[in-house]
Amino acid sequence: MLNGTDKTTRFAAIIPARYASSRFPGKPLADMDGKPMIRRVYEQVKKSVNVVYVATDDVRIYEAVKAFGGEVVMTSVHHRSGTDRCCEAMKKIGQAFDVILNIQGDEPFIDPAQIDLLKDCFTSPGVELATLVKPFKEEDGLQALYNPSSPKVVVNKKGEAIYFSRSVIPYLRDVPQEDWLKRHSFYKHIGVYGYRTDVLEKITQLPQSLLEKAESLEQLRWIENGYRIQVAVTEHETIGIDTPEDMQKALAFLRKTK
């Protein structure tokens, strides 16, 4: 396995994109000022990674990516997670890579610097998996900290994630809750991943774990099975899009930044 993020390290970014969504059907194809959202994600990722593929289970997304000149591969409709979809796509692409980056298809504003941070985690040959976290700030407020849709991460002294939870962790005993954000650095998970290719194959063969089922967080399966997840800290805020209402906010943001 090659190490480092120099020119010899072979990275590929895969963007999993499903058509079906209970809260926002057809989300990857939603129009964002003349471009489908999946195109905006693809173009952002391309600024950091030379080899980028969309992995989809729907011919409409496949054709949309082909129409703007992107690389795309069809995958099964039965995958439970983006990680599983990335693994199938990696095999179908049929090229040799050292690291696969999983970039969510609903992050049209992902900063290329964040992807570079993820890549830099693999400077050490001992890194198996990597992800990003962002510190909660006092101005975010307790509502953001308690939001179960925003998983929290506890990190050890080696910069490795030791637990992810939809609950607030750690619990600050004998500290009033209104002071928690002042007294401790809580980390929010940013849902992008990097995997050594051999590790990606192994983790997708693991059965669902008890903690994974309890929290509905696939990365707990990896931790339960002894895999280490390196963490890099970003200060950039991402704007994920889960609902049509989120899209309206994203469009407002996009028009402000033009």
Distance (Å, rounded) from C-alpha 140 to C-alpha 90?
37
Bridge partner residues of 217 (DSSP): none
How confident is the model over 31-50, as a mean pLDDT?
96
**Whole-Å CA distances, 211 to 84, 219, 222, 228, 238:** 18, 9, 10, 16, 26
Domain boundaries, the chain: 11-245
Which tens digit of pLDDT belongs to each residue from 198-243?
999 999 999 999 999 999 999 999 999 999 999 999 998 778 788 8
Q: Side chain identity at 211, as an amino acid letter?
A: L
Query: Residue 4: its pLDDT value, please?
Result: 43
Residue 7 pLDDT: 54
| pLDDT score of 3 | 41
> What confidence category does residue 257 fall into, taking pLDDT thresholds of 50, 70 and 90?
confident
Closest Cα partner for 246 from 137, 165, 149? Answer: 149
Q: Is pLDDT above 60 for 5?
A: no
pLDDT at residue 71 tops 80: yes
Q: What is the pLDDT of residue 156?
A: 98
pLDDT surpasses 90 at 135: yes
**Contact 60/66 with Cβ under 8 angstroms?**
no
pLDDT of residue 2: 39
Q: Is 72 buried (19+), middle (13-18) or exposed (0-12) by CB count in 10 A?
A: buried
Q: What is the DSSP letter of 5?
A: S
pLDDT at 249 over 80: yes
pLDDT > 90: percent of the chain = 83
Mean local confidence (pLDDT), 249-254? 88
Q: pLDDT per residue over 80-122, tens digit each?
A: 899 999 999 999 998 899 999 999 999 999 999 999 999 999 9
pTM of the model: 0.93
Q: Is pLDDT at 159 greater than 90 in this prediction?
A: yes
For the domain 11-245, what is the CATH superfamily, name and number? Answer: Spore Coat Polysaccharide Biosynthesis Protein SpsA; Chain A (3.90.550.10)
Q: Taking all residues of the chain, what is their mean pLDDT, rounded to a whole number?
A: 93
Residue 197: name the closest of 121, 83, 118, 73 by CA.
Answer: 83
Q: What's phi and psi for 115, nearest 5 deg?
A: -65, -40
